[in-house]
A = this chain, B = another copy of it.
Amino acid sequence: MTLPQTAVDQFEALLGERFTTSRGICAEHGADISHFDPMPPDAVLFPRTAEEVQAIMKICTAWHLPVIPYGAGTSVEGHIHAMHGGVCLDMSQMNRIVRVNAEDMDVVVEPGVTRNQLNSHLRDTGLFFPIDPGADASIGGMASTRASGTNAVRYGTMRENILSLEVVTASGEIIRTARRARKSAAGYDLTRLFIGAEGTLGVITQVGLKVHGIPEAILSGVCTFNDLEGAIRSVMEAIQMGVPLARVEFLDEATIAAVNHISKLDLPEHPTLFFEFHGTDRAVEEQVARVRDSAETHGGWGFEWARKPEERNRLWAARHEAALSIAAYATGTRQWWTDVCVPISRLAECILQTRTDIDQSDLFAPILGHVGDGNFHVGICAKEGDEDAFGKAEALHDRLVGRALSMEGTCTGEHGIGRGKISYLEDELDGAVELMRRIKSALDPLNLMNPGKIFANA
């Protein structure tokens, strides 16, 4: 679409040089690491205040322009694609850390603050923000996709760590969803409604977050297993015993092979678990002892653990470098990163069936995941431009999601629906999606907020 000249004039009057229709900048804001072709917006706007966002919403409402909120652009389901044109709201200039309430262990930040920026800022307070989806994502984007990542098993996801949101609604009001108390039974949980709404209900302009005390002691561990069932069973046992695992990550043989090749490591090419333990000195040692016992009972071997930061980094190198190693290893391919999440009792079965399916498909597709939550990723690699390979990737993906759903799982544990999983959401929740649509219509009757995401034809 072309923006009406009057709208352009209004945006320019409001934002000056912070409004642009530059083709380069629009192209950047319509491209991500998803497997979809990019879809650039017609303009990119860089608001600095909630009031500017409000004024933008009013202009967009007047001209019926779609609005796509944009954080760091690190999501993987095409969330930032301008399916129906319109304007991209790049929130990166709203990146102030508004308040740190150290005594209450909470902070208030603008949505463009990234998680690394926040943790750098917090360093001297003894506090940290735990959610780690891998990329240096923005807090607003992480809220919008209900992000989680490696230490959700201990600290929860964005859902559990957001105390309140300030939101500019589709109808242009600035609202606050909650006060700063740790818990509340006051009315509908609007905070949780906007978390994971993928920008389809409003624009997040401020986020109140819980933060946590940096643990006295951090220990890392690695353990190799002869088979996947043993690895999963040892994690289940540790969780049932109440061991408060801070992270527990799984890499499959294919991932280890990629990392060995690219990063010149020589890890045994077997299912491998990477652990992290947080607590007091005594508590983490006790945790390590229990996990080692449980791992050994289930066929784990070569258990190593480390306390010093440099040794911890060395132990975890394979996990930290997994995504980049896979990209480098599978050069010339387009990667289709997806995730599902199943009850942990079904996880081994789900991963094994997926591995067999991949092996029969002739594609390279490593598996890694956050096993404490039952959540795993598959990076399906298909040769760029090879339509046949893409067809196979699509079919593999379809079977993967179907398998997770058949095991009472979800079509996405942490990536979100975006463009890519709209039909699976219907498969997963059926009639409940109609309720979501009614909420969407009630709060965004013109369907201007990130249209084409979560719902078909929306």
Contacts and interface: CB of A to CB of B under 8 A. Distances in A.
Contacts of A212: 242
Given A104-B344, A279-B242, A430-B175, A189 B182 contact: no
Interface string A235-257: 01001111010000000000000
A287 to B, nearest CB: 9
Interface string A21-59: 000000000000000000000000000000000000000
A421 B186 CA distance: 9
Interface stretch (A60-68, A293-301, A313-321, A436-444): A436-444
B345 A184 contact: no
B177 A429 contact: yes
Interface stretch (A83-91, A193-201, A302-310, A357-365): A193-201
A158 to B, nearest CB: 9
A431 interface: yes
Interface string A64-95: 00000000000000000000000000000000
A185 interface: yes
Contact of A103 (B196, B236, B424): B236
Contacts of A147: 185
A412 B173 CA distance: 25
A323 interface: no
Interface string A200-235: 010000000000110110000000000000000000
A42 B430 CA distance: 35
Given A105-B240, A242-B216, A282-B286, A185 B436 contact: no
A13 interface: no
A152 interface: yes
A416 B431 CA distance: 28
B182 A436 contact: no
Contacts of A367: none
A266 interface: no
A187 B429 contact: yes
30 contacts: A101-B345, A103-B236, A103-B240, A103-B345, A104-B344, A106-B343, A146-B184, A173-B431, A173-B434, A176-B430, A179-B409, A179-B428, A180-B409, A182-B341, A183-B341, A183-B375, A183-B410, A183-B413, A184-B341, A186-B411, A186-B412, A186-B417, A186-B424, A187-B196, A188-B193, A188-B454, A189-B193, A213-B241, A439-B439, A441-B442
Given A169-B435, A185-B416, A186-B417, 17 more contacts: A101-B345, A148-B183, A181-B342, A181-B410, A182-B343, A183-B410, A185-B414, A186-B424, A187-B417, A188-B201, A193-B193, A193-B439, A213-B241, A280-B286, A435-B443, A438-B442, A439-B442
Closest 10 pairs between A and B when the two form their complex, measured CB to CB: A192-B192, A442-B442, A184-B410, A103-B345, A180-B408, A181-B341, A175-B432, A104-B343, A181-B410, A185-B416
Interface of A: 101, 103-106, 126, 145-148, 152, 156-157, 159-160, 169, 173-190, 192-193, 195-197, 201, 212-213, 215-216, 236, 239-242, 244, 278-280, 282-283, 286, 341-345, 373-375, 404-405, 408-417, 421, 424-425, 428-436, 438-443, 454
